[in-house]
Amino acid sequence: KAGVTQTPRYLIKTRGQQVTLSCSPISGHRSVSWYQQTPGQGLQFLFEYFSETQRNKGNFPGRFSGRQFSNSRSEMNVSTLELGDSALYLCASSLLASGPQETQYFGPGTRLLVL
């Protein structure tokens, strides 16, 4: 069974631009969560989608948005990029997102560099 895939793997943008990242969950998984990893900060929760609905949202500004499609693939968008948005963006999928006891499987991440 294929794992979680994220595209692109690397991205370079300039301040003020916008970016869209994509995540394809494991086949059959209906939940996708997004995290931002920066040095010294660990992974910070962005949002979670289940069956095309946002179920949970972290403490990030409105420039960060996401959506989920009927095939469970998810995209996240960051508008008006700032230097501080440079990070590794990880997505994780799970079958039903029934709680933390259900294992979440992470993709390899998209490395975003904002110049």
Partner 1 sequence: DQQVKQNSPSLSVQEGRISILNCDYTNSMFDYFLWYKKYPAEGPTFLISISSIKDKNEDGRFTVFLNKSAKHLSLHIVPSQPGDSAVYFCAASGETSGSRLTFGEGTQLTVNP
Which residues would be at the binding site for partner 1 (CB under 8 A)? Answer: 4, 31, 33, 35, 40-45, 48, 55-56, 58, 90, 92, 94, 97-109
Cβ of residue 59: shortest distance to partner 1, in angstroms? 10
- 11 or 43: CB nearest partner 1: 43
CA nearest 88: which of 60, 69, 107? 107
- Alpha-carbon span 78 to 66, nearest angstrom: 9
Collapsing DSSP states into helix, strand and coil, what is residue 85? helix
- 37 or 79: CB nearest partner 1: 37
Length of the chain: 115
- 10 or 62: CB nearest partner 1: 10
Cβ of residue 15: shortest distance to partner 1, in angstroms? 26
Strand 5-7, strand 19-24: pairing: antiparallel
- 84 or 100: CB nearest partner 1: 100
Cβ of residue 112: shortest distance to partner 1, in angstroms? 15
Instruction: Write down the number of H helices and E strands in the chain.
Output: 0, 11
- Alpha-carbon span 9 to 16, nearest angstrom: 21
Cβ of residue 14: shortest distance to partner 1, in angstroms? 25
